[in-house]
Amino acid sequence: MELKKIPEAARRLLEDAKTVLSRVPTRMITAALGAIIVLAALLLFYLRPPTSMEEAPEAVTFFQIGTGSAGDEYFAVGERLAAAIGRPPGTPRCERGMPCGVAGLLAVARSSAGPVANVRAVSAGLFDSALVAAPILELAARGETPFKGEKPVTNLRAIAGVYREALYLVASRNANIGSVADLENMRVSVGPPGSGTREAALPVLAVHSLGRRTVQISEYDTETAIDLTLRGQLDAFFLVDALPSTEIASLADRGSINIVPVDGEEVRQLTRPGESFQPLLIPADLYRFVPETQTLGVSMVWIVNEEADPDLIHDITEALFSPNNRPLLSSPVLPGLLPGEEGERAKFATSSIPVPLHEGAKRYYREQGLTVEEEP
């Protein structure tokens, strides 16, 4: 066929099609179009990824957890919390007996300069949440050092006390220190400014009427304090650390230290309801040459801003205490994570917290039949 005849042929085909369609009833054309639309809808339904009716839409909610420096205890706890509460789009559904987080939640552990920086970041809305030692929260609420000169921080709320560390009073064997009272006139490190160790050690000294006038107080970091103690240039130092602690175990294996009990009538003032400490027992034989020793437990509190979405915080709290998520939280390295026996963890998590619980977390605890006080 010549090129000039192609348009003429196309015109004839179009006219023939119009003639045929004119003989077809309009109802049949409409039915055919409707069938095509239904078929397309069915194809879209069956070809899309399956979702269950109870799952939230595939939308991502980012949730940051401020921790500490990468590799430290705070960061390790934050990583496990993020793994337990998160379930980003595309991850497997919640199946019976399997770990399951909050639908659409992408939780990440963020390194930070430590608990004091975490308080400021959550208060200012720079972090969604963070981990802070209970004594630091108490100082922030009162506007005391290291927050002196700043307005008291009143917009922080707690999800739970998620980890419990031990307060160690480590003394050189040659110093003959058997109690906190024996620290008088001794060379003692309380930890660097802004650290959880320092803010736990100073109240212990205070209830024994010990301070800078009666004790040679220094503020060394852990590594320096250990080195000076081994050299005989320091008599004792405080340390807030895991139970068990690798640093304490290394010193105990050398047989060069004693773990001094932190106990007695004076110390019990610090463990009353609403205070930041709990009694804690260091088991016998946990460390070489160290007998069973009574000391204090220090809560690591998971905090959020008071403006955080109550429904989201409720769901996060629910995921935190879900029995299915225990494998993600349990670890021989972090045995203090969510302390307490099964059924008692929520009770432990709501004690010794110096800031109010967030409304969403409070709602979850009440659903579990736990009596929650309005104020700490």
Domain residue extents for the chain:
61-163+299-367, 165-297
- Token representation of residue 97: 């007996």
Give the C-alpha separation, 157 to 353, whole Å: 10
Tell me, yes or no, if the two domains 61-163+299-367 and 165-297 fold the same way: yes
Question: What one-character-per-residue DSSP string does 244-294 give?
Answer: S-HHHHHHHHHT-EEEPP--SHHHHGGGSTTSSEEEEEE-TTSSTT---EE
Is 115 within 8 Å of 69 (Cβ atoms)?
Answer: no
Task: Name the CATH topology of 61-163+299-367.
Answer: D-Maltodextrin-Binding Protein; domain 2 (3.40.190)
Give the amino acid at 99. P
Q: What pLDDT, on the 0 to 100 scale, is given for residue 193?
A: 85
Q: Is the pLDDT of residue 21 over 80?
A: no
Q: Is the pLDDT of residue 247 over 70?
A: yes
- Token representation of residue 227: 């080195």
Q: Is residue 363 classed as helix, strand or coil in its secondary structure?
A: helix
Q: Is the pLDDT of residue 316 over 70?
A: yes
Mean pLDDT of all residues in 137-166: 92
N-to-C CA span, the chain = 94
Q: Kindly state the DSSP code that residue 50 receives in the 8-state scheme.
A: P
Q: Is the pLDDT of residue 245 over 60?
A: yes
Q: Is the pLDDT of residue 46 over 50?
A: no
In this prediction the pTM is 0.78
Q: What pLDDT, on the 0 to 100 scale, is given for residue 29?
A: 43
Mean pLDDT of all residues in 157-163: 94
Q: Is the pLDDT of residue 272 over 80?
A: yes
Reported confidence tier of residue 347, pLDDT bands at 50, 70, 90? confident
Q: What pLDDT, on the 0 to 100 scale, is given for residue 276?
A: 80
Give the amino acid at 79. E
Q: Which CATH architecture has domain 165-297?
A: 3-Layer(aba) Sandwich (3.40)
Reported confidence tier of residue 99, pLDDT bands at 50, 70, 90? confident
Q: What is the pLDDT of residues 203-239, one digit of tens each?
A: 999 999 999 999 999 999 999 999 999 999 999 999 9
Q: What pLDDT, on the 0 to 100 scale, is given for residue 1?
A: 45
